[in-house]
Amino acid sequence: MMALPLRTWVIPVTVVTLTLAALAYAGIGLDEDRIREYIRLTSGSSVLLFALAWSASSLNTLLPESRWRPVLRARRRIGIAFAISHTFHLIGIIALYEIARGGDWGDFEFLPGAAIYAVIYAMAFTSNDASVRLLGRNWKRLHTVGGLILWGAFTVSYIGKISEYGFAQHYLFSALCVALVVVRIMAWRKR
């Protein structure tokens, strides 16, 4: 039996998994701790999808016999799945303020998060051939600078959470962020 290629299932699996998780949390009860757990879950799914998309080309260069090629072929859809996953992060954030905190948005910092979401959606909506043609060299600029901004956001968030909470995922995903840069530098030197 032929396995379904990654590019076929990465978006539906992301949507279904994060929707089911949201429904499961809603079933348990939407208090602040539960909603924060869900927000953390969605940042985990987001960083994994981002890591796959952001390293696909580099790993394809570094690994023998292009074993990473299916991931490279699926890269745009993985990027869109990342944007979807981070939309669930946003839904979690809205639920945190609207449901758990009764609509009190007093301590909400709008600007940095909104700017990064703008980058995420700009990248997701231009992940297609028509946009590549239309934007020309600006497409590459957007996706290069955007990727670095997202990498920075994850790195700062996870490394920052080590001293705040120090959960296993904070160490693991901080290490993943560092590894991503190492992989990209190694591939850049090999090309």
The residue ranges that bind ligand HEM (CB under 6 A) are 36, 39-40, 43, 89, 93, 96, 113, 116, 150, 153-154, 157-158, 161, 169
- Distance (Å, whole) CA 123 – CA 102: 33
Nearer to ligand HEM, 124 or 153 (CB): 153
- As a whole number of angstroms, the distance between CA 187 and CA 170 comes to 26
Which residue number, 93 or 132, has a Cβ lying nearer to ligand HEM?
A: 93
Contact (Cβ atoms closer than 8 angstroms) between residue 12 and residue 82 = no
CA 29 from chain center: how many Å? 26
Residue 122 CA to residue 116 CA, distance in Å, equals 10
Q: Which residues are within 8 A (CB) of 91 and not within 5 positions of it... i.e. 6 or more apart?
A: 22
**Cβ at position 137, least distance to ligand HEM in Å:** 25
Q: Which residue, 26 or 116, is less far from ligand HEM as judged by CB?
A: 116
**Least separation in angstroms between CB 76 and ligand HEM:** 18
**Taking the complex as a whole, how short is the minimal distance between the CB of residue 130 and ligand HEM, in angstroms?**
26
Nearest residue to ligand HEM, by Cβ distance, number only: 113
